[in-house]
């Protein structure tokens, strides 16, 4: 048969095909595929509509939170976030925090800066020297002793804000601080109540605080926390503050969940800046001039005699602390008792030389505790040592904004494979998007471990996951509709096993029309018309149905597709809807089994007093157009082409006594010589130009 479609179709068939193709085109767009199309449009719309949402909630005026007791300076021109934006930002922040906390645990640094040492006022010290607060003379002894032992910087994470047990003790501490010239004192900066009138002593403390604050300012784009009038109860005594080398704030900056992930490097006090305790200690340790500190683009540069340290910060001047587990033990720590006893232990004599020594309270029951991303309970003094370690080692964590890069990457990850996902079946499409999201999440985690980049995942997930889920849900619904259509279409023609096999790969089924090489089997009963006239109608139907039931089982066994029943005949396809390389052989084997089933059927008929049946079968191979034919109201999977007409003509040439199977040369060529044939005969078929050779089939070998 020629491959040209026009050559194998009659004029009437071409008209039917044209009308069917128009109906199929309309059905394919607005039928089973409509849900998928809507799903794609909604998912793509979600992607692009979510971008401005992410942009707005990523702005710093929405999500920055100041240290406790303070507020951020606000620009009147900044847009005020809506409640919805604030809630969305808070949701993103909470999720990002949870995801962030897993990263330091996976890539925790194990090396701690040996230049940082803790001197803890612990249980042993309290047992030996009495309950806190002590007379300040003991604190003076700690300063003097550490100075003798060669400590380079002595950092007190203790606020000496009120008068001590004796004036002599206060004077001794101030004198020791002055003589040491290397002490960094702590202050808590909290806003006083509105309308409060400070006492003269408070004014002296505030004046000393302003004097120690650094005479530098930050560009307006840095929305630093500020305090207008500090609260008296957390500012160190004026003599102690004035004599300190540096003074730093110890305001905690926990996130909404109470976890300390970052510190505020500066608090604005009038036209000056108060550094954090860790930054003040760093400047003292490096002998840097605070006036040389430069605010750059998302970073603070500290110039010192040995070089420059560039600290990445957010718009509020906050630095992420590179936390590590076991900060209790991994930083060198000693009991304050060992210093107060003036021990001559060689280890103690060398322990503090040229070191930054952080003096803090660490006895049991101490309330100065908090949570870090890696530990639920730590002394908050370890915040200062961990921040110092981060700055001295240069192991900074660089925050990457959610907009634009991470979000645009998630947009690309959804849109780029969309065309491929449309062609894939449902489960491969799910695996595709799941793999892409997993690889992106893995890249985010590895970026933290390898490049110290904190890439937020919540905003990208907000764009990617709903879009992918919407698309996949619509694909699932569309796939199920397609499966139902296939089952409804082919369940009438094929065995359940064949339908199940088709459903495993529905993309191989083209219901809108395609050209296939198919083998056609036509069977017909001999002398059925006289039988119909001689018997009552119910008996006729019983005989025909018993016959068809037996033949259908045989056809199903060989994987044939029953196209239609022609009264007492059957039209069967091999090679559609499933492609079959051995379609011709299957058809012949099916025909042989159909003829073998006739004697047993006739014996049963004889017992029931029913007439004997005789059947002829004709088989032909050729190219046909197969697909759903009909209208929206009614259509069926069928085939059109002259090869069907030839098969009917061949069947008409079978012996009138039945039992014969005739095949054409095309069928014989498709079986590779495994046939047992009777004498061939040449006939002139009606409507077919030229004679045609037909071959009676006697049997077929399995070789």
Per residue in 263-294, pLDDT (tens digit) is 999 999 988 999 999 999 999 999 999 999 99
Q: Which pairs with CB-CB distance under 8 Å and at least 24 residues apart come from 252-256?
A: 252/67, 252/68, 252/370, 252/380, 252/383, 253/65, 253/66, 253/67, 253/68, 253/318, 254/68, 254/370, 254/371, 255/65, 255/93, 255/97, 256/65, 256/90, 256/93, 256/94, 256/97
Among 8-17, 451-460, 601-610, name the one with the lowest average pLDDT: 8-17
Q: Are 209 and 262 in a shared domain?
A: yes
Q: Do 26 and 38 have their domain in common?
A: no
Average pLDDT value for residue range 75-83:
53
In a domain, 176, yes or no: yes
Average the pLDDT over each of 315-324, 453-462, 630-639 and give the range with the smallest value.
630-639
Digit-coded pLDDT (tens) for 421-454: 998 888 999 999 999 999 999 999 999 988 889 9
Q: Is 83 a domain residue? A: no
Q: Is the per-residue pLDDT at 174 higher than 90?
A: yes
Residue 71 inside a domain? The answer is no
70 in any annotated domain: no
Please report which confidence band the pLDDT of residue 55 belongs to, taking 50, 70 and 90 as the band edges.
confident
Instruction: Note if the bond before 577 is cis, omega within 30 degrees.
Output: yes
Asked whether residue 456 falls in the same domain as residue 520, the answer is no
Residue 279 within a domain: yes
Same domain, residue pair 39 and 26: no
pLDDT, residue 272, reads 93
* Segment 115-164, tens digit of pLDDT: 999 999 999 999 999 888 889 999 999 999 999 999 999 999 999 988 88
- pLDDT digits over 213-261, tens only? 999 988 888 888 888 888 888 889 899 999 999 999 999 888 888 899 9
Same domain, residue pair 527 and 655: yes
179 within domain boundaries: yes
Instruction: Domain of residue 179: give its range.
Output: 114-398
Same domain, 217 and 262: yes
Query: In this model, does residue 80 exceed pLDDT 70?
Result: no
pLDDT of residue 526: 85
pLDDT given at position 62: 43
Asked if residue 528 and residue 483 are part of one domain, the reply reads no
Residues 641 and 554 in one domain: yes
Which of 379, 398, 417 is the last residue in one of the domains? Answer: 398
Q: Establish if 57 belongs to a structural domain.
A: yes
Alpha helices of 341-425 — where are they, by DSSP H? Answer: 346-351, 381-393, 405-415, 418-423
What was the pLDDT predicted at 500?
Answer: 59
Instruction: Looking at the structure, tell me whether residues 525 and 434 fall in a common domain.
Output: no
**Same-domain pairing of 467 and 598:** no
- Taking the chain, what is the end-to-end CA distance rounded to the nearest angstrom? 27
CA angle 222, 161, 339 (to 5 degrees): 105
Question: How much is the pLDDT for 504?
Answer: 56
Asked, for residue 286, whether it belongs to a domain, the answer is: yes
SS3 call for 195:
coil
Picking from 398, 419, 446, the residue at the C-terminal end of a domain is: 398
165 and 196 belong to one structural domain: yes
Backbone phi, psi, residue 331, to 5°: -80, 140
pLDDT digits (tens, 9 = 90+) for 94-114: 888 888 888 888 887 667 788
pLDDT computed for residue 67 by the predictor: 66
Q: Closest by alpha carbon to 284, among 430, 180, 377?
A: 180
Taking only the tens place, the pLDDT of each residue in 457-466 is: 998 999 999 9
Q: Decide if pLDDT at 51 tops 70.
A: yes
Q: How far is 316 from 73, CA to CA, in rounded Å?
A: 9
Given 361, 381, 398, the domain boundary residue is 398
CATH code: domain of residue 641: 3.30.70.1230
Question: Could you give the number of structural domains in the chain?
Answer: 3
Same domain? 685 vs 657 = yes
């Amino acid at each position: 048969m020629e491959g040209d479609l026009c050559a194998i179709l009659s004029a009437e068939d071409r008209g039917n095909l044209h009308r069917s193709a128009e109906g199929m085109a309309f059905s394919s767009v607005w039928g089973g595929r409509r849900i998928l199309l809507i799903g794609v449009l909604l998912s793509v719309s979600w992607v692009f509509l979510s971008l401005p949402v992410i942009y707005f909630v990523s702005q710093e005026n929405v999500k920055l939170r100041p240290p406790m007791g303070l507020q951020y300076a606000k620009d009147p021109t900044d847009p005020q976030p809506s409640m919805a934006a604030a809630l969305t930002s808070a949701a993103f922040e909470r999720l990002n925090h949870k995801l962030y906390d897993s990263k330091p645990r996976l890539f925790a640094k194990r090396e701690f800066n040996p230049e940082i040492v803790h001197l803890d006022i612990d249980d042993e010290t309290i047992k030996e020297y009495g309950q806190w607060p002590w007379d300040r003379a003991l604190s003076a002894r700690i300063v003097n002793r550490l100075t003798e032992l060669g400590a380079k910087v002595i950092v007190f994470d203790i606020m000496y804000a009120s008068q001590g047990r004796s004036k002599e003790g206060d004077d001794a501490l101030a004198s020791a601080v002055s003589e040491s010239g290397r002490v960094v004192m702590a202050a808590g900066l909290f806003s006083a109540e509105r309308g409060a009138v400070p006492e003269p002593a408070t004014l002296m403390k505030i004046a000393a605080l302003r004097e120690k604050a650094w005479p530098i300012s930050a560009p307006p784009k840095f929305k630093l926390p500020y305090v207008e009038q500090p609260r008296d109860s957390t500012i160190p005594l004026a003599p102690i503050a004035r004599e300190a080398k540096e003074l730093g704030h110890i305001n905690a900056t926990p996130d909404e969940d109470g976890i300390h992930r970052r510190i505020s490097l500066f608090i604005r006090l009038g036209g000056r800046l108060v550094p954090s305790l860790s930054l003040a200690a760093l400047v003292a340790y490096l002998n840097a001039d605070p006036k040389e500190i430069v605010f750059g683009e998302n970073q603070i540069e500290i110039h010192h005699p040995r070089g420059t340290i560039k600290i990445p910060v957010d718009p509020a001047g906050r630095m992420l602390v590179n936390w590590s587990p076991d900060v209790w033990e991994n930083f060198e720590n000693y009991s304050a008792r060992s210093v107060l006893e003036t021990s001559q232990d060689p280890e103690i004599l060398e322990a503090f030389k040229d070191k930054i020594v952080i003096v803090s309270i660490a006895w049991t029951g101490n309330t100065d505790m908090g949570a870090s991303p890696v530990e639920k309970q730590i002394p908050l003094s370890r915040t200062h040592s961990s921040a110092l370690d981060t700055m001295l080692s240069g192991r900074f964590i660089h925050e990457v904004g959610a907009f634009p890069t991470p979000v645009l990457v998630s947009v690309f990850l959804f849109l780029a494979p969309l065309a491929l996902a449309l062609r894939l079946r449902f489960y491969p499409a799910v695996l595709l998007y799941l793999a892409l999201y997993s690889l992106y999440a893995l890249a985010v985690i590895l970026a933290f471990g390898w490049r110290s980049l904190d890439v937020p995942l919540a905003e990208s997930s907000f764009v990617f996951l709903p879009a992918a889920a919407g698309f996949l849900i619509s694909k699932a619904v569309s796939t199920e509709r397609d499966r139902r259509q296939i089952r409804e279409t082919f369940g009438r023609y094929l065995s359940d096993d064949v339908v199940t096999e088709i459903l495993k790969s529905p993309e191989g089924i083209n219901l809108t029309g395609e050209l296939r090489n198919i083998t056609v089997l036509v069977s017909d009963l001999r002398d059925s018309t006289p039988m119909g006239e001689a018997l009552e109608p119910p008996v006729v139907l019983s005989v025909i149905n018993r016959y068809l039931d037996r033949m259908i089982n045989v056809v199903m066994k060989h994987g044939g597709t029953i196209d239609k029943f022609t009264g007492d005949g059957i039209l069967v396809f091999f090679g559609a809807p499933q492609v079959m390389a051995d379609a011709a052989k299957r058809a012949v084997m099916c025909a042989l089994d159909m003829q073998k089933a006739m004697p047993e059927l006739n014996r049963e008929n004889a017992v029931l007093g029913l007439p004997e049946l005789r059947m002829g079968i004709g088989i032909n191979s050729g190219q046909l157009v197969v697909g759903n034919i009909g209208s929206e109201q009614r259509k069926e999977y069928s085939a059109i082409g002259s090869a069907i007409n030839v098969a009917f003509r061949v069947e008409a040439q079978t012996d009138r006594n039945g039992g014969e199977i005739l095949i054409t040369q095309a069928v014989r060529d498709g079986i590779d010589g495994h046939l047992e044939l009777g004498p061939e005969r040449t006939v002139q078929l009606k409507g077919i130009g030229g004679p045609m050779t037909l071959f009676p089939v006697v049997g077929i070998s399995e070789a």
